[in-house]
Amino acid sequence: MKARVFVTLKSGVLDPQGEAVKHSLGTLGFSGVNGVRQGKVIELDLAETDAAKAEAAVRDMCAKLLANSVIENYSVEILA
Amino acid sequence: MKSAVIVFPGSNCDRDLAVAFERASGKKSAMVWHKDVTLPDGLDVIGIPGGFSFGDYLRCGAIAARSPICRAVVDFANRGGHVLGICNGFQVLTETGLLPGALMRNSGLKFVCKDIDLTVETANSAFTNAYEKGQSIRIPIAHHDGNYVASDDLAARLKAEGRVAFTYQNNPNGSVADIAGILSENRRVLGMMPHPERLNDAQLGGTDGSLMFRSLVQSFVTA
């Protein structure tokens, strides 16, 4: 079973990399980009075959390592 | 003073830190590998050095903070032990939860490596008692992710409790409230981005950092 974790910065946490990307997009002529926030996607290949159990395990992984709850939020997607 | 320095794959200030401990105390510092599960007996202070532990993968300090030895370091701190985290060591300490907040990419996005001026905000700790409150000192920084992030509430609390150890005079990285180093609630864990171990010898450009190591030795002699 595969899972995908999206790690994003909490709102209110300044994202200097996102700001730099936004600036660069403006330089390239892409107007109207009001904001850019950069995050991470982590793909996991799991031995678990039960979707509910897999999701619980991945959420535990997020809390313990994959995301830093001080600055980041996460969401989990279980793929068939 | 009995000291130990934790060594992770990618640490690169571990030997400098050990030299600083040894010169101040006259005693050899124990080098402890990240896969070890126990610390030497009778330690007064543990140093977590600068560098790029585990290549800064995932987040700076994140993998190191979950390594076997860090469990022992957290237990040591929770029993009232003294821990000094410098640069990557500060990042590791926030990732273990021993210090609040987090360190993010510098606001200017660039790696910054230069001597900078700090203000000593408190002399009330085993790490800073040889300094004077308000003293200006020059210490090098060398980091890409030294932008200290804390909620307004946390930053205000750190200030009110006198737990901001050092501030930048010219903020080089966007840190909230110019914070360069903070203390834990019991004042026995210090994390800081600047490198006191790098200005610990007049022949290498200055000795402002050596007072930190003298502070520690004084604390443990009189304790």
What is the CATH number for B186? 3.40.50.880
Helix (H, G, I), strand (E, B) or coil at B23: helix
CB contact under 8 A, B105 and A68: no
pLDDT in tens, B88-109: 999 999 999 999 999 999 999 9
Q: How confident is the model at residue A12 (pLDDT cuts 50, 70, 90)?
A: confident
Question: Which residue range forms the structural domain that includes residue B29?
Answer: 3-222
Which residues from A are below 8 Å from B147, CB to CB? 16
- Paired with B117 in beta bridges are B138
pTM here?
A: 0.94
CB contact under 8 A, A68 and B101: no
CB contact under 8 A, A68 and B62: yes
Angle of CA points B141, B195, B135, to nearest 5°: 90
CB contact under 8 A, A16 and B59: no
pLDDT in tens, B118-143: 999 999 999 999 999 999 999 999 99
How far A66 CA lies from chain B's nearest CA (Å)? Answer: 7
Q: How many domains does chain B have?
A: 1
- Asked if residue B223 has pLDDT above 60, the reply is no
Q: How far apart are CA B178 and CA B101, in angstroms?
A: 14
Over range A22-45, report the average pLDDT: 96
Q: Measured between CB atoms, which of A13, A17, A68 is closest to B95? A: A68
How many beta-carbon pairs under 8 angstroms link A with B? 34
Q: How far apart are CA A46 and CA A62, in angstroms?
A: 14
Q: How far apart are CA B159 and CA B176, in angstroms?
A: 11
Taking the CA atoms of B147, B150, B152 and B154 in sequence, report the sign of the dihedral they define.
Answer: negative
What's the CATH number for A2-79? Answer: 3.30.1280.10
